Amino acid sequence: MNRRPPLAVAINAAAGTLQNHLLLQQMKLAQQQNAGSGSTPSDTESVRDEPYAGVVFSGNPHETVPRGLLLDDRLSPLERNVWQVFRLLINGDGVTAFPSYEKLRPYLGSSPGKSASKETVAKALTVLRLTRWLSLGQRVRDSVSGRVQGNVYILHDEPVGCAEAMEIDHHYMQLVGQAL
């Protein structure tokens, strides 16, 4: 029996969770500044400018890795690892506020103790989107400035079809065009 919420409900829940997380971060910064914690304006701006992302897992909950992921010859070991790190960091409800590139980098280094570059993280996410193991469900924007605050991703337990990818990820064809 499938007890997962409809995809649109899950995407909206992830976007709300992400917005709440960002609001809490802003409140903590304001409290630190009011308490005179010594944070400088550049510290505040760097935290405010750090993008966050949410991930929604669209498959059945399990801790195993899909065979198709491991056998997909379009993926490098790095991209397989990114998928697995995403999956392991998702909460039991299938929705989580996903860490920034900075928090992902230590998990994705090519050797122990070395972090991956932001470009490496971005490339791995792009490849997972192109191969349809990952979809960009929604960009979360600041209601006042319109600035992108983060993204909601949908992690799939198998690559979705092209039609479904275009339905979920409205920027998918643009991404494919840029990759050519």
Q: Give residue limits of the domains in the chain.
A: 7-179
* 63 phi/psi in degrees, rounded to 5: -105, 5
CB distance 131 to 75 below 8 Å: yes
Structure confidence at residue 3 (pLDDT): 60
Structure confidence at residue 52 (pLDDT): 66
Q: What ranges in 35-161 are assigned the alpha helix state H? A: 41-49, 67-71, 77-89, 101-104, 118-130
pTM of the complete model beyond 0.85: no
Longest dimension (CA), the chain: 53
Written as tens digits, the pLDDT of the chain (180 aa) is 456 667 888 788 888 888 888 888 888 888 888 887 555 555 555 555 666 667 777 777 666 799 999 999 999 999 999 999 888 877 666 666 666 788 889 989 989 999 999 999 999 999 999 999 999 988 888 888 888 777 888 999 999 999 999 999 999 999 999 998
Rounded to whole angstroms, the Cα distance separating 98 from 89 reads 8
Structure confidence at residue 94 (pLDDT): 63
Structure confidence at residue 1 (pLDDT): 47
Q: 54: exposed, middle or buried (C-beta count within 10 Å: 0-12, 13-18, 19+)?
A: buried
Q: 10: exposed, middle or buried (C-beta count within 10 Å: 0-12, 13-18, 19+)?
A: buried
